[in-house]
Amino acid sequence: MPRLSSGAVSLAIEHAQSAASGPSPPPSLSLSVVLGRTRALSGHLTEVGISMAASCEVRYGTGQWDTHEQAAEGGSRRSPTTPLSDAPLQTDTDTEAETEAPEPRERDTPEDVVLEAPANGLAFHPARNLLAAGDVDGDVFVFEYSCREGETKELWSSGHHLKSCRDLAFSEDGRKLVTVSKDKAIHILDVEQGRLDQRTSKAHSAAINSLLLVDEHLLATGDDSGRIRLWDQRKEGPIMDLKQHEEYIADMALDPAKKLLLTAGGDGCLGVFNIKRHRFELLSEAQSGDLTSVTLMKRGKKVACGSSEGTIYLFNWNGFGATSDRFALKAESVDCIVPITDNLLCTGSTDGIIRAVNILPNRVVGSVGQHAGEPVEQLALSHCGQFLASSGHDHRLKFWNMTQLRSVVVDDYRKRKKKGGQLQALSSKAWGMDDFFAGLKEEEETVPDAAEEESEDSD
């Protein structure tokens, strides 16, 4: 086949395009001449097209030609694309929103806190969602609690005590945390930073076991020898120093007027001290077991004391010499007490069960929760009254919801619980009847006297 110059090829292509598009060829070149030259060049152009297809790989988007012949013919063999729809286009913002972590699950109570050692002391902040705990190693922790899963966290910890931290309490304004220890020292910590602001070393000659804040300046402490001391933070040394108990001071309570300080002693006696006049008032008759805890009930008309023998002793106000009533639980001991309402209180025992007890009429209402087979060391009620916190020998701080318990009303004095009856679960986390409480019995023992009948009728 004769080779043509590039100018001739260009001219032939130009006229062929013009003929295909419709306009008539220029007058200087007839239609027959154009067609003839086009036929002459057709073979050469085909060879050129094939060689171009062979020398390069043809692609369209993500697809590619299957064969060189299809490339030369212009047939597309690419993968089909997704057709457009009316749905809105997905943006980077939408993608980020989809990959964001889901919202934390809302719980009925905050999650348990696990410590390295059992906690002796527990205290809630008076206004914020903070819980303080002091353990047997002398460490003090402050946690911020939340019902959102994963949001309960430790804010700070302090290791200033050399021995076990026995008790602690927040100040009325919530800015200070006061702690006492077996090392005989009193510490005052800044709540925001955990900084030690004040230390009173050798505040007692024996290990300090109990603490009670009277107001923003006054605090009372009790030690293992039975000594009571009253402190004014603005002064050096105690402003009251009295020893009437023969054994350790287990717990203390204060009347609403902040005049009388009540003490529960290991000698089985309830002590009464006038902190306004800095003098001792009286000791009750000794009970058969240690008095481990004390609190006011029935709008201040009754004083309830827990004991190491599992009995709750009741005293009339201004009748502290002898008990007006006693209420025996089927428990190894009543180690701690916290009031929930004027009539209801919760007890912690060495059998690990947290019981709800109604005072006058005396009833075990049910179980709030448990530390599985481990003694309950301490209880505390939150500032809002919704949560009860407990510490046990299982190294855990647990939270219990008090909503259901607050709605309980016991008003039948004559109805007695059947002997051998099982505890009713009063929270969603309290174990069912078929496991921990299977076969558990609650029995009350009432020792009536004249004062009991009078108090029942008057209340």
Q: Is the pLDDT at 339 greater than 70, yes or no?
A: yes
Share of the chain above pLDDT 70, in %: 69
The mean pLDDT of 402-413, rounded to a whole number, is 83
* Mean pLDDT in residue range 359-376: 93
**Lowest mean pLDDT, pick from 56-60, 137-141, 145-149, 373-377:** 56-60
User: From CA 292, how far away is CA 307, in angstroms rounded?
Assistant: 5
Give SS3 for 29. coil
Closest by alpha carbon to 338, among 272, 226, 251?
A: 251
> What predicted TM-score, i.e. pTM, was given to this entire model?
0.72
Q: What angle do CA 404, 409, 411 make, to 5 degrees?
A: 165
Across 136-144, average pLDDT: 98
Q: How far is CA 101 from CA 16, 98, 107, 146, 411, in A?
A: 65, 8, 18, 18, 50
Contact assessment for residue 169 and residue 125, using Cβ atoms and an 8 Å cutoff: no
The mean pLDDT value for 417-443 works out to 56
| Residue of higher predicted confidence among 68 and 210 | 210
Burial of 74 (0-12, 13-18, 19+ CB in 10 A): exposed
Q: Compute CA distances 173 → 91, 146, 196, 224, whole Å.
A: 50, 21, 17, 29
Cβ contact 154:141 at 8 Å: yes
For the chain, give the mean pLDDT.
80
Please report the pLDDT score of residue 45 as a whole number.
Answer: 40
Task: Write down the pLDDT at residue 410.
Answer: 86
Q: What is the pLDDT, as a whole number, of residue 367? A: 93
* Residue 96, pLDDT above cutoff 80: no
User: Does residue 31 or residue 423 have the better pLDDT?
Assistant: 423
CA-wise closest residue to 331 among 292, 360, 296, 294: 292
Q: What pLDDT, on a 0 to 100 scale, did the predictor assign at position 458? A: 42
